[in-house]
Amino acid sequence: MADFDAIVVGSGMSGGWSAKELCERGLKVLVLERGNEIVPERDYVDQMPPWEQSNLDRISEDEIARHYYKQFPGVSYAVKESNKHFWVKDDEHPYETSPGTEYDWLRGYHTAGRSIMWSRQTYRLGPQDFEANKIEGIAVDWPVRNEDIAPWYDHVEKFAGIAGNRDGLPQLPDGQFQPGFELTCAEKEFKSRVEAAFPGRNVIQARVAHITAVTEEQRALGRSNCQSRNRCHFGCTFKAYFSSLNATLPAAERTGNYTIVHNAIVQSLQYDGESNRVVGVRVIDAETMETRSYSCRVLFLNASAMASAMILLQSKSTEYPNGLANSSDQVGRNLMDHVSGAGASGLISGFENKTVFGRRPGGIYIPRYANITEHDKPYIRGFGFQGNATPLGNAGGQIAGIGRAFKESHGAAGPWRVSISAFGEQLPNPNNTVTLHPSKRDKWGNPLAVFNVGYGENERIMQAEAGKDAVAMLEAAGCTEISSRPVNLTKPGNRIHEMGSARMGRDAATSVLNGWCQAHDVPNLFITDGAFMTSSACQNPSLSYMAFSARAAHYAVDLLAQGAI
């Protein structure tokens, strides 16, 4: 008799969904979280006003050099003195990169993982995204099409709460939306001018995982509408944005089938060759260093694309000497992120006597048009732009003047600025890898990750072109003082959209998972974090992790009921 029906490794964006769905279907579920427990009432700092923050909420430079030398440069907009407990200390969680390469591995080890710190942009993949690999002969074909996953997008959107507008764009399917955050007057003007100048392009509201018309189901979990505070990186007392901690884990808990253990770092999965099943998990306690095991009937890996691949690589057996479920040799390959670097900003006139009230969580989104409505590109796939048009503001003090006039200018009318930044697709490449360091180990005895990730020509050309497109759109919108930044590609990993390390495919010889996120090799093993992504598309991927997790969980429960696993 197993300790639990199911074990879910990781409590973040996808692990929360796996746990919720498995619990709601009646399984006894253990969630293993490698980090500490986050208690919202104790650990969220979203209610702290500016004047209670220390030193303008800056982490001291010496402390950054000592503990946050990767995290802070990677996401300085989000890592602050008051919320630094949401980010790992780099010296405690080191990793390596191959010579000549760079990788930003930006993480939070605690209840709900990075679902607490994400930026909440939420988009479906479109039909073209599931078909592109096959049509273009890139990597392997997705074993899933849009119609397979669309009902599961519906399922997770209704529960999570997604604010957005129904835009009717085939490449960016609409979903089960709550009311979106209306565009500013300058954004409406920008939209009108850009869409007139470029008939195949659209400027729409960003779609974000924020509740704006709370449902009874959401209210029952203690969630309420977004208050437009823009304090999301500090937690949310209103539980208005989606995170595991605000939504899926409480839903799992109320079933009575849920157990979570913190500080449980997985060392390996235990495999029984005779039955060809995962039978349990070996963990080490992060604080006491004690090791122990838990057994289960079905296992979901939701440790993040990188950590899930590493756990498989650490789980060696006679049958799988190169890592569990790795007969294809694809575990730890095809790492993808999104690539940014291109963008532009400029001033838009005509709104000097207007301002905004409230601090919304998103802005504008320009869905992919390259190779969708425009086919003259020197690259394949495409990118979306995220941005906004808001009053320039001047709280940084970087305007001329002194005295009363300077002081009062901060509350006075002023120019508005449009800003857009590209998020591009990264093609899968088997040579972009995460592997285990042959000798270096962390303080819990687990091998260090070694990243070897680079961009290809397609990503470089695409971003260069995206930079030109950004300027052209701002010019068409009549912007002045347009500044286009030099296109320096973001470091791999910097967008924190980790994908591809145990890809789905139709053939067990060339992929790790089938279309249900089930390992080809080991039928009671499922991986539903970003590892399953066969290609990256250009949309922010969290919603896809949610939908595939929910779908896989139901499939696994069905297989268990049938006695098939």
b/e per residue 251-268 (b: at least 16 CB within 10 A): bbbebebbbbbbbbbbbb
Q: Which is nearer to other proteins, 59 or 504 (CB)?
A: 59
Q: How far is the CB of 400 from other proteins (least distance, A)?
A: 4
Report the residue from 1, 41, 42, 55 that binds other proteins according to the rule CB under 8 A.
Answer: 55
Q: How far is the CB of 407 from other proteins (least distance, A)?
A: 5
Question: Which residues inside 210-269 make contact with other proteins, applying CB under 8 A?
Answer: 227-229
Q: How far is the CB of 149 from other proteins (least distance, A)?
A: 31
Report the residue from 99, 256, 321, 397 that binds other proteins according to the rule CB under 8 A.
Answer: 397
Q: Which is nearer to other proteins, 272 or 352 (CB)?
A: 352
Q: How far is the CB of 356 from other proteins (least distance, A)?
A: 6
> H helices within 203-321, ranges in order?
216-220, 249-253, 305-314
Which residue type sits at 138? I
Tokens of 425: 């697709």
Q: Which is nearer to other proteins, 59 or 265 (CB)?
A: 59
Q: Which is nearer to other proteins, 58 or 377 (CB)?
A: 58
- Our finding on whether 375 is near other proteins (CB under 8 A) is no
Report the residue from 92, 182, 217, 481 that binds other proteins according to the rule CB under 8 A.
Answer: 182
Report the residue from 54, 192, 275, 276 that binds other proteins according to the rule CB under 8 A.
Answer: 54
Residue reference for tokens 């286009």: 484
Residues in contact with other proteins, total (CB under 8 A)? 48
Rounded Cα gap, residues 271 and 307, in angstroms:
18
Q: Which is nearer to other proteins, 219 or 441 (CB)?
A: 219
3 state SS of 339: strand
Q: Which is nearer to other proteins, 306 or 364 (CB)?
A: 364
Angular region, 142: left φ>0, alpha ψ -120 to 50, beta rest: beta
Question: Which residues inside 400-459 make contact with other proteins, applying CB under 8 A?
Answer: 400-404, 406-408, 410-413
Question: Which residues inside 291-330 make contact with other proteins, applying CB under 8 A?
Answer: none
Angular region, 180: left φ>0, alpha ψ -120 to 50, beta rest: beta
Q: Which is nearer to other proteins, 124 or 360 (CB)?
A: 360
Q: What is the dihedral of CA 397, 401, 403, 409, to 10 degrees?
A: -60
Rounded Cα gap, residues 88 and 443, in angstroms:
14
- Our finding on whether 181 is near other proteins (CB under 8 A) is yes
Report the residue from 1, 42, 51, 438 that binds other proteins according to the rule CB under 8 A.
Answer: 51
Q: Which is nearer to other proteins, 288 or 353 (CB)?
A: 353
Q: Which is nearer to other proteins, 397 or 438 (CB)?
A: 397
**What x/- string results for residues 327 through 366 when contact with other proteins is judged by CB under 8 A?**
--------------------------xxxxxxxx------
Q: Which is nearer to other proteins, 185 or 448 (CB)?
A: 185
Residues counted in the chain:
565
Q: How far is the CB of 212 from other proteins (least distance, A)?
A: 9
Q: How far is the CB of 44 from other proteins (least distance, A)?
A: 14
Q: How far is the CB of 328 from other proteins (least distance, A)?
A: 48
Segment contacting other proteins by CB under 8 A, of 313-321, 378-386, 390-398, 459-467: 390-398
Consecutive H or E run containing 301 = strand 291-301
- Our finding on whether 77 is near other proteins (CB under 8 A) is no
3 state SS of 284: strand
Q: Which is nearer to other proteins, 219 or 440 (CB)?
A: 219
Q: How far is the CB of 188 from other proteins (least distance, A)?
A: 8
Rounded Cα gap, residues 17 and 281, in angstroms:
20
What is the Rg, in whole angstroms, of the alpha carbon atoms belonging to the chain? 23
Consecutive H or E run containing 450 = strand 447-452
Which residue type sits at 71? Q
Segment contacting other proteins by CB under 8 A, of 132-140, 391-399, 461-469, 538-546: 391-399
Report the residue from 36, 53, 317, 373 that binds other proteins according to the rule CB under 8 A.
Answer: 53
3 state SS of 313: helix
Rounded Cα gap, residues 517 and 504, in angstroms:
7
Q: Which residues pair with 335 in a beta bridge?
A: none
Consecutive H or E run containing 414 = none
Q: How far is the CB of 207 from other proteins (least distance, A)?
A: 15
Q: Which is nearer to other proteins, 135 or 412 (CB)?
A: 412
> Of 514, 553, 543, which is closest to residue 143 (Cα–Cα)?
514
Q: How far is the CB of 261 from other proteins (least distance, A)?
A: 36
> Of 328, 381, 383, which is closest to residue 138 (Cα–Cα)?
381
Rounded Cα gap, residues 32 and 4, in angstroms:
12
Tokens of 465: 């072109």
- Our finding on whether 49 is near other proteins (CB under 8 A) is yes
Task: Decide: residue 243, CB within 10 A, 0-12 exposed, 13-18 middle, 19+ buried.
Answer: buried
Q: At residue 72, what are phi and psi to the nearest 5 degrees?
A: -65, -50
> Of 508, 437, 16, 524, which is closest to residue 247 (Cα–Cα)?
16
Q: Which is nearer to other proteins, 62 or 274 (CB)?
A: 62
Consecutive H or E run containing 475 = helix 457-476
Distance of CA 190 to the CA centre of its chain: 28
- Our finding on whether 65 is near other proteins (CB under 8 A) is yes
Q: Which is nearer to other proteins, 201 or 231 (CB)?
A: 231
Q: How far is the CB of 232 from other proteins (least distance, A)?
A: 14
Q: In what order do the strands lie in the sheet with 343-348?
A: 204-205, 364-366, 383-391, 416-424, 343-348, 480-484
Q: How far is the CB of 358 from other proteins (least distance, A)?
A: 4
Question: Which residues inside 467-496 make contact with other proteins, applying CB under 8 A?
Answer: none
Binding residues for other proteins, rule: CB under 8 A, are 47, 49-51, 53-56, 58-62, 65, 181-185, 187, 227-229, 353-360, 395-404, 406-408, 410-413
